[in-house]
Amino acid sequence: MIDNLALGAMFFGTIQDERLSFELLDRFVDAGGVWIDTANCYSFWVDPSGFGGQSEALLGRWLASRPGVRDRVKISTKVGCEPTVAGRFPETAEGLSAAVIKSGIEGSLRRLGTDHVELYWAHKPDPATPLEESVAAFDELVSAGTVGRLGGSNYPVWQIERARQIARAAGSAGFTAVQQHHTYLQPRPGTQPTVVHRFGAVSDEVLHYLEHHPDMALWAYTPLLSGRYTRADKPLPAEYDHPGTARRLAVLDEIAAETGTNRNRVVLAWLTGGNPAVTPIVGVSTVQQLDEAVAGVSLELTAEQRERLDSAV
């Protein structure tokens, strides 16, 4: 069983057609994969309708066509980012009111064709809704058995902790996971990675918080920078154009040569074997990419190799 890797289903049912999506899902399960990550808003920005739900609906068709597979996988989905008006995101994002959370899980379960999900995420902060309201609404889902665990994605640390405090005080279920962008390369200080929400990038403060809260898990999206570690046709974004990038890439290449692998596998091994350990969410478009991701999370780095990776700045 491979429970330290999540298959990202963002483009299943839109950019990736049903045949390819089913092939990737089958391969993932056959390899021992467990976690599949999606969201109710995937992928509104590429679908002609301007609304999401395509990924969850495809997963529902796959589950329905594979009797027994639902017992072998765990589903992670999200609420909070689906636009309420096509073409107007983020200003019309649905938010995290109690009514939205209730209708959001109902829609997700209907599309997925299941009666529960193992992990449910608040996709991004909602400044218009009190945290107390959102926390109470999420707790109702856990109490009902509809949701196993809760997580916060793209949140600043203070709001994660405040939500957890509210939950503890009320005896409610609280966040036990954080999902943000995290990878080996670091952007130039003072810049924001182009692929993330305002508070979507893992910072040293996030890592420090997680080190002191061992009940919290860290999930990382876009861990391989959409192929930019290994593909010459996909240059790194401008925020990575600084001397530290060259030094970290050089060490990546050294470790890749020593392990007989490549940059992608070393990055995934660095993430999953670190402290805190990370669950990378990989979006793949070929079976070969999926196999490489599985090999990456299975790769074990030595303490000396990890120290070299960590100290390159």
The yes-or-no verdict on residue 190 having pLDDT over 90 is no
The yes-or-no verdict on residue 262 having pLDDT over 80 is yes
Q: How far apart are CA 168 and CA 196, in angstroms?
A: 29
The yes-or-no verdict on residue 195 having pLDDT over 70 is no
pLDDT at residue 289, as a whole number: 96
pLDDT at residue 189, as a whole number: 87
Instruction: State the average pLDDT for the chain.
Output: 96
Q: What is the CATH number of domain 2-311?
A: 3.20.20.100
Mean pLDDT along residues 298-311: 97
Domain ranges, ordered by start, for the chain: 2-311
Mean pLDDT along residues 183-203: 88
Q: Record the tokens describing residue 296, joined without a space.
A: 């990456």
CB atoms within 10 A of CB 61: 16
pLDDT at residue 18, as a whole number: 98
What are the pLDDT digits (tens) for 103-158? 999 999 999 999 999 999 999 999 999 999 999 999 999 999 999 999 999 999 99
Confidence of residue 185 (pLDDT cuts 50, 70, 90): very high
Kindly state the percentage of the chain with pLDDT values over 90: 96
Mean pLDDT along residues 92-112: 98
Write down the pTM of the prediction.
0.96
- Which residues on adjacent β-strands are paired with residue 2? 33
Residue 23: φ, ψ to 5°: -60, -45
| Residue 57 parent element (H or E) | helix 54-65
What are the pLDDT digits (tens) for 4-38? 999 999 999 999 999 999 999 999 999 999 999 99
Report which of residues 67 and 196 the model is more confident about: 67
